[in-house]
Amino acid sequence: MVFSSAIFLFIFLPVVFLGNLLIRPLWAKNLFLTAASLVFYAFGEPVYVFLMIASAAMNYGFGRGLAATERQEIRRFLLVVSVLCDLVILGTFKYAGFLVENINHIAGSHLNVPEIALPVGISFFTFQAMSYVIDVYRNRDMCQKSFMKVLLYISFFPQLIAGPIVRWGEIETQLDHRAVTTDGVAEGICRFVKGLAKKLLLANGLGQIADQVFGLNIGQYSMAVAWLGAICYALQIFYDFSGYSDMAIGLASMFGFHFQENFDHPYSAESIHGFWRRWHISLSSWFKEYVYIPLGGNRKGKLRTEGNKLIVFFLTGIWHGANWTFVIWGMIHGIMNVLEDTILPIRKCRFKWIGNLYTWIIAVTAFVMFRADTAVYGWQMIRTMFGNFSWDMLSRQFILERLDGYTMTLLAAGILFSYPVTGVLAQKTLKWREAHSAVWENLRYVGVLLLFFLCVCSLASAAYNPFIYFRL
């Protein structure tokens, strides 16, 4: 836990926003935001804040070395060493226990499994640090002489814990040229409240049902119960993670920064290929830019292209966590992408609803593995989803007890807003909003205030429920 929600919303955030507003010189704003970001991280990770600073310093040093060196072989050596150092840090904290467990299982050995606490957000800030060095390797003019700016880039608190992953090339100029505007602040507040509502009003409620189902001995229940839990979790993780991204993008706007979108209604896609153009866009872009294209991308034949995709999806899976369930989740998506490229004509289907239904089935099924504690349990639940057609008393009782008006409303709202309905409504009402712009703006801000009030009420009555991606 970094900050409690109340402290963050009502103390930390207002103080940092007002401080940033009152400070005039840009260098002083950067220094202030860097200090605030370190305080934010240190509040929950008092020891690991030094790890993050050390990571930033190490990559800053490699960047300076790359910029100062002319010989290509030395520059390549420095790049490889820097990437290896970042991967060793990430691997030590995130994968050491997983690796030893698998060695013990395969070799029959009894090595002590290290129990190392996982620093919050290490996957995100490590990938950003790697982005800096790789970008400098490609273009030495992108080297930043100020360590403080590199540290701000890596530690900036809105996206520090769970993204979106911001590449150095996307934010470099913003560190030196940005402005806090009234429109930017207003849009940022609206976006932040939207993300907060996604988390508190949708994700948390759906997560309660998902947790109950995933806590069952699912083999004793029917497919209806398994599908209820799987769909609730698929919606939970979407609103949980996209909610955080909305909050991060909104906060960045309030401070004069612009972050790329991270989600674009992925459940409205008509193929798994389309799903990944809309889901966790910043991670997909990172792997495309720094892994897929360097591996050869689609430039070395069909077989090599599909192999590169499988490598990327394997890495995407293991990036999410040290468990074979994440690897299986990633490979399900990788295999379906390859099948769509080769023998599965889903992207040529004339009926869009068929492609969309197919996407839902694959994505929801894959997320069962993402959520399951073990691959055995995940496989058992998938078997129940597609094989147990019974409607026994135990399943009937479970469904009837949980599908009350509140849960049905959550499910309906979750499915409805996973499609771009607000965008369609905005387009349909464009002429009216242009003709009544003042009325529309007032209505919009009233709606945001009402939504914020509901969020505060939810915070007051709910237990601590962190974002799912805090553990990555």
Catalytic residue IDs:
320
Long-range contacts of 465-469 (CB under 8 A, 24+ apart): 465/204, 465/207, 466/1, 467/161, 467/162, 467/199, 467/240, 467/241, 467/243, 467/244, 468/236, 468/237, 468/240, 468/241, 469/161, 469/162, 469/163, 469/240, 469/241, 469/244
Query: Where are the extended beta strands (E) located within 363-446?
Result: none
The residues, ordered by sequence, that sit 6+ positions from 241 with a Cβ below 8 Å of its Cβ are 162, 263, 280, 467, 468, 469
CA angle 190, 1, 319 (to 5 degrees): 85
* Rounded CA Rg of the chain: 23
Q: Which residues contact 352 (CB under 8 A, 6 or more apart)?
A: 270
**Is the backbone of residue 374 left (phi > 0), alpha (psi -120 to 50) or beta?**
beta
Helices and strands counted in the chain (H then E): 24, 0
* Rounded distance between C-alpha atoms, residue 148 and residue 38, angstroms: 12
User: How many other C-beta atoms are found inside a 10 Å radius of the C-beta of residue 269?
Assistant: 21
> Rounded to an integer, what is the distance from CA 460 to the centroid of its chain?
26
What secondary structure does DSSP assign to 79-144, as a single string? HHHHHHHHHHHHHHHHTHHHHHHHHHHHH---PPPP--PPPTTHHHHHHHHHHHHHHHHH-GGG--
Cα(71)–Cα(66) distance, integer angstroms: 9
What whole-number distance in Å separates Cα of residue 426 and Cα of residue 433?
9
Residues 248 and 257: beta-carbon distance below 8 Å = no
Q: What angle do CA 236, 241, 244 make, to 5 degrees?
A: 125
